Amino acid sequence: MMTNKELYREFCKKNHQLPIFMQDWWLDAVCAGKEWDVMLCVKRGDEEMRLLGDEEMMRETEAPEEIVAAMPYLLRKRAWMQYILMPQQTQIGGIWMSEDITEDAEKVTAVCQQFARKLGEMGLSYYYQHYPIGSPAPQAMETLGFKAKERVTYRIEDLRDLDKVIGSFSKNKKRQLQKALSLHAELGMNVEDFYRFHKRCLQDQGKEISYTREFLLVLERKARRLEQCQILSICNADNEVLAAAFLIWDAHTMYYLIPCYDVRYKDSGASALLVLEAIKLARQKGVVFDFEGSMIRGVANHYKQFGSTRTVYYSVEKYYKWYFWFANAYNWLRERKFRDKR
């Protein structure tokens, strides 16, 4: 008998349309040391959809059941509380649905009802996930007592005409590219060198890196094995790295996952050249380019200057226990006070 997780692994092998952030190997990497699981909704022919229990096998008859919706999740526990949050460096999660489901509002609602009921039975204190771009699920979840909040990323959808893409850059970004004429791009930067570079860049700005060396090593190893990542760097004539980015992609989209810049060379044009070279790589692969955020005004303004389109997606959350809301509010105020002191 296969568990939901084992069934999902088999499903991921056959379904290459799943976003990279919802694929089993990605979840293995970003949840290393923590346990992730998945809820599955299955259907056979014209029969009603049903949630597959962990101890229940998919029914194999003349017309076997198919997975029509899935919700992978990371369950975290602290003291007496357990809650679902997004894993590190993961833009989207939530509910994936097949096209047959997303095109029918009644089916969307039926699937969301199944998942909402299961979440309510888990004894959670809190639930929070980002849902895929264009998903109808957040609105359906709102009717079931959840709260959907708008989030924003910036994307360049059509990369076929590179001259047109560059022509949409702001005057400021074009000037920066002129400054960067003496610089060059390189692929294949060593992952440990990238981690050290990113860490130093942040330290120079008085910030701390948000992930560990071990986390990045695991993620890079798994993504490289599947040829779904690349580390791009911008160097000067002395081959000194001025900027770098960890890029990932799936069948549809390349994500500008972890960019970093040496502030000593902020006027070199390296940051603009880094984006342009990443866009060129996405164009070669025939995918959309996604800046992977940002909700931060300054960063968002930087991305908009590359002619990108503001694209909305949604987070979905629910407080099941009042004390978790209080704990979140306390932590937010404490972090804000710390930032103000700095």
In the chain, % of residues over pLDDT 70: 92
Q: Could you tell me how many residues make up the chain?
A: 342
Query: Which tokens go with 228?
Result: 């779904």
Q: Where are the domains of the chain?
A: 4-153+313-341, 169-306
Note whether 100 and 67 are within 8 A (CB).
Answer: no
Note whether 40 and 241 are within 8 A (CB).
Answer: no
Q: Can you name the CATH fold of 169-306?
A: Aminopeptidase (3.40.630)
Query: Considering the entire predicted model, what is its pTM?
Result: 0.91
Helix (H) or strand (E) holding 259: strand 253-261
Average pLDDT over residues 243-256: 98
Structurally, at CATH architecture level, domain 4-153+313-341 sits in: 3-Layer(aba) Sandwich (3.40)
* Equal fold, 4-153+313-341 vs 169-306: yes
Write down the residue that tokens 């970093």 correspond to: 260
Residue 57 is classified by DSSP as P
Name the band, by pLDDT with cuts 50, 70 and 90, for residue 281.
Answer: very high
Residue 39 is classified by DSSP as E
Greatest mean pLDDT range, 72-86, 143-157, 322-336? 143-157
Instruction: Give 155-186 pLDDT, tens digit per residue.
Output: 999 999 999 999 999 999 999 999 999 999 99
Query: For residue 274, which of 257, 253, 294 has the smallest C-alpha distance?
Result: 257
